[in-house]
Amino acid sequence: MHLRHTIPLAALLVFLSASALAETFTAQRAAIWRGYGKTAAPMQLCINGTCQTIDNIGPIVTDQSQPYYLDLDTLSKIEVTPAPARIDTLDATTNALQPGLYASDASAIRYRGSWVHQHREGPSDGEIHSAFDAGSDLSFVFEGAGLEVGLVHYDDRRTAKLCVDEACQTINLYSPRLDWQQPLLVFGLKSGRHTASMRLLAGKGMDLDWIRVLPAPEPMRPGHYQPNDKRITTTNNWKNFASTAPRASFAFDFEGHGALLDFTTDADAGEITLCLDGACHTEDLFTLKPGTRQLTLETRSAGLHHVIVHKGLSRRLALPNITIR
């Protein structure tokens, strides 16, 4: 049903209900109320024929609802209609994300279920996609050799499942405090085309802040490498070659028979998870007095190998000096 209004200068408050999912009116000022809930859906807002999609329009108005304000220079024709349906399938013709950084509204990302597109402080670019119903998922295709996904951790979050091709892992999204911009690094993939998906398993929500597609890194070869070497890939929460973030990771590839990692040890250091070609174990770098500790990674062949290190229970982790043998 289309309803037409002509209101020259007065403010117009528009509620979209289940029986009136489209509005056409003429106004200079308007507030379109945005509700949250299972009935909320993206809507297309057109002003004098120029259109954009706005999220969270629906008949449910809660204490989290927010108005979408319009304050126009002149009297304008305004249309609000259901947004075109998104395609939620991936196939061989799907556009792939190339190496680079992408916000959560990238057109190549397919969302299914109850997702809300929010603009607020906290996310890296001031906007984020959030799902609040178990089973909601997202998927995308990318061309590269690694992936970084920006997440949110909070006390009402629990678990999600991240899959790249056929390899899946369960992600713990819980934190006793609200932690924005938390990266998850997937490294060591064969360079090429991959399909990724993330699904909410348990808890009250799951969020996507950004996606970073990583190209195939140049491998380290026998020799010595400093922490500032560009062949070391880090998540986005490192400064001056160290990180105090709750979840930080770094990774590198090497060609050789093994690697020696010289870490700084002190009272701020702690547990790390060290993975070589997918086989992981835990090491503890805590010491009362400052020092160093060398960790050895042995391989059975001199081929290409992948190393990824995750910061665990510690205040700070510094990048090590690396020797390839």
The pLDDT, as a whole number, for residue 42 is 60
Q: Do 228 and 285 have their domain in common? A: yes
Residues 106 and 201 in one domain: yes
Contacts of 163 by beta carbon, 8 Å cutoff, 6+ apart: 169, 196, 197, 198, 199
Q: Which residue has the tokens 């400064």?
A: 239
Residue 319 corresponds to which tokens in the numbers above?
């990048």
The reported pLDDT for the residue numbered 70 is 66
Domain boundary among 158, 183, 214: 214
Same domain, 170 and 113: yes
Question: Residue 60 has what pLDDT?
Answer: 38
Same domain, 233 and 313: yes
Q: In this structure, are 187 and 104 located in the same domain?
A: yes
Q: Is the same domain home to 181 and 241?
A: no
pTM: 0.68
Q: Which of 184, 314, 161 is nearest to 249 (CA)?
A: 184
Tell me the C-alpha distance between 45 and 128, whole Å. 20
Residues 277 and 227 in one domain: yes
Question: Does residue 44 contact residue 81 with C-beta atoms inside 8 Å?
Answer: yes
109 assigned to some structural domain: yes
Closest Cα partner for 88 from 40, 135, 140, 38?
140
Token pair in block for residue 299: 């391989």
For residues 239 and 292, state if they share a domain.
Answer: yes
**Residue 95 within any structural domain of the chain:** no
Q: Are residue 274 and residue 306 in the same domain, yes or no? A: yes
Give the whole-angstrom CA distance, residue 221 versus residue 256.
6
pLDDT given at position 61: 39
CA torsion angle 241 324 191 247 (round to 10): -30
pLDDT (0 to 100) of residue 4: 36
Tokens representing 27?
């106004």
Do 78 and 120 belong to one domain? Answer: no
Per-residue burial over 143-157, b if 16 or more Cβ lie within 10 Å, else e, is ebbbbbbbbbbbeeb
Instruction: Indicate if 227 and 210 belong to the same structural domain.
Output: no
Identity of the amino acid at 282: T
Task: Please give the pLDDT value at position 46.
Answer: 78
The position carrying tokens 């086989």 is 279
Residue 138 lies in a domain: yes
Q: Which domain holds residue 248?
A: 223-324
Domain tally, the chain: 3
Q: How is residue 17 annotated by DSSP? A: B
- CATH label of the domain that carries residue 300: 2.60.120.260
* Alpha-carbon separation of residue 259 from 126, 280, 295, 297, 300 (angstroms): 40, 15, 8, 5, 12
pLDDT of residue 105: 92
Domain match, 239 and 313 both: yes
Q: Along the 325 residues of the chain, how does pLDDT read in single tens digits?
A: 333 333 343 345 554 443 344 567 776 666 665 544 433 456 677 777 777 766 554 433 344 445 566 666 777 777 776 555 443 445 555 689 999 999 999 999 999 988 999 888 899 888 999 999 889 999 999 999 999 999 999 999 999 999 999 999 999 999 999 999 999 999 999 999 999 999 999 999 999 999 999 999 999 999 999 999 999 999 978 999 999 988 899 999 999 999 999 999 999 999 999 999 989 999 999 999 999 999 999 998 889 999 999 999 899 999 999 999 9
In a domain, 208, yes or no: yes
Residue 93 lies in a domain: no
278-296 in b/e form (b: 16+ CB < 10 A) is eeeeeeebeeeeeeeeebe
Token pair listed for 315: 């205040």
Which pLDDT does position 104 carry in this prediction?
94
Single out the residue in 21, 56, 82 at which a domain terminates: 82
φ, ψ for residue 30, nearest 5 deg: -155, 155
Give 233's strand partners.
Answer: 251
168 domain residue, yes or no = yes
Rg of the Cα atoms in the chain: 24
Question: Are residues 117 and 106 in contact, defined by beta-carbon separation less than 8 angstroms?
Answer: no
Asked if residue 87 belongs to a domain, the reply is no
Domain boundary among 51, 82, 113: 82
User: What pLDDT sits at residue 68?
Assistant: 62
The total number of residues written for the chain in this structure: 325
